[in-house]
A and B are shown apart, each in its own frame.
Chain A
């Protein structure tokens, strides 16, 4: 039972354009969402997060949007850079619990 889903296993985007990574969840109890970036053989690196009381959070080139009614969130990277090429994981948690549920990841490739 995959509670957090990233339906696009891979995405290719031209440098300078916008990358949009999507994530859907099924558990309505989730109230905190995070995006992690992962390079091969390294641990996931935290990128940006959003609480369920917000619908948008922005940090530099990264913006996360949350649509609670649709149980959907997305990560926008503008402009995309070749160094952004990595696997991006969406994660969700319930406040007061001590686990993060990860999606299956989307491999982003930014073409120079």
Chain B
């Protein structure tokens, strides 16, 4: 069965550079969630989208922005990268309304040097 696809799997950027992470949800899923997991930490909710509209916002820095496109894929744009942004970034998708299983992608490991 198709799963959540994230790209790239690994990304190395320098401080102050920009990064774009992409997430392709499971077909027919209309909700996308972004999480950040730092070393030794639990996944922290960043932001979510339902039907291409931002629905909930968590601890997402102002330097980050995200959107969900008409084909339901989502992109997380990160600017002015800092060393502390190095983390695993997970995307998850579900079929609406915040109830039911959210299925996670493999994650993008971002390393800022």
Q: Are B90 and A99 closer than 8 Å at their CB atoms?
A: no
Q: Choose one: A31, A41, A101; the contact of B45 (CB below 8 Å).
A: A101
Q: Choose one: A34, A43, A94; the contact of B90 (CB below 8 Å).
A: A43
Contact A102:B55 (CB < 8 A) given known A32-B98, A45-B104, A95-B97 = no
Interface size class of B (residues with CB under 8 A): 20 to 34
Q: List the B side residues contacting A104 at CB < 8 Å.
A: 41-42
Q: Are B56 and A105 closer than 8 Å at their CB atoms?
A: no
Task: Flag whether B101 is at the interface (Cβ < 8 A).
Answer: yes
B38-49 vs A, Cβ < 8 Å mask (1 yes, 0 no): 000111110011
Task: Flag whether B103 is at the interface (Cβ < 8 A).
Answer: yes
Q: List the A side residues contacting B72 at CB < 8 Å.
A: none
Q: Are A96 and B97 closer than 8 Å at their CB atoms?
A: yes
Q: For the complex, count residues of A whose C-beta is within 8 A of B.
A: 27
Q: Identify whether the interface residues of B are mostly helix, strand, loop, or mixed.
A: strand
Q: Choose one: B41, B48, B105, B106; the contact of A98 (CB below 8 Å).
A: B48
Q: List the B side residues contacting A31 at CB < 8 Å.
A: 99
- Beyond A93-B98, A102-B35, A102-B42, 10 additional pairs, beta carbon < 8 A: A41-B107, A42-B107, A43-B6, A89-B42, A95-B97, A95-B99, A99-B58, A100-B92, A102-B44, A104-B41
**Shortest Cβ distance from B53 into chain A, in angstroms?**
10
**Shortest Cβ distance from A39 into chain B, in angstroms?**
10
Q: What are the 6 tightest A-B residue pairs by CB atom distance, in nearest-first order?
A: A43-B104, A98-B55, A98-B48, A99-B56, A46-B101, A104-B42
Q: Are A36 and B98 closer than 8 Å at their CB atoms?
A: no
Task: Flag whether A28 is at the interface (Cβ < 8 A).
Answer: no
Task: Flag whether B24 is at the interface (Cβ < 8 A).
Answer: no
Task: Flag whether B109 is at the interface (Cβ < 8 A).
Answer: yes
Contact A99:B42 (CB < 8 A) given known A42-B106, A43-B106 = no
A6-37 vs B, Cβ < 8 Å mask (1 yes, 0 no): 00000000000000000000000001101010
Q: List the B side residues contacting A91 at CB < 8 Å.
A: 102
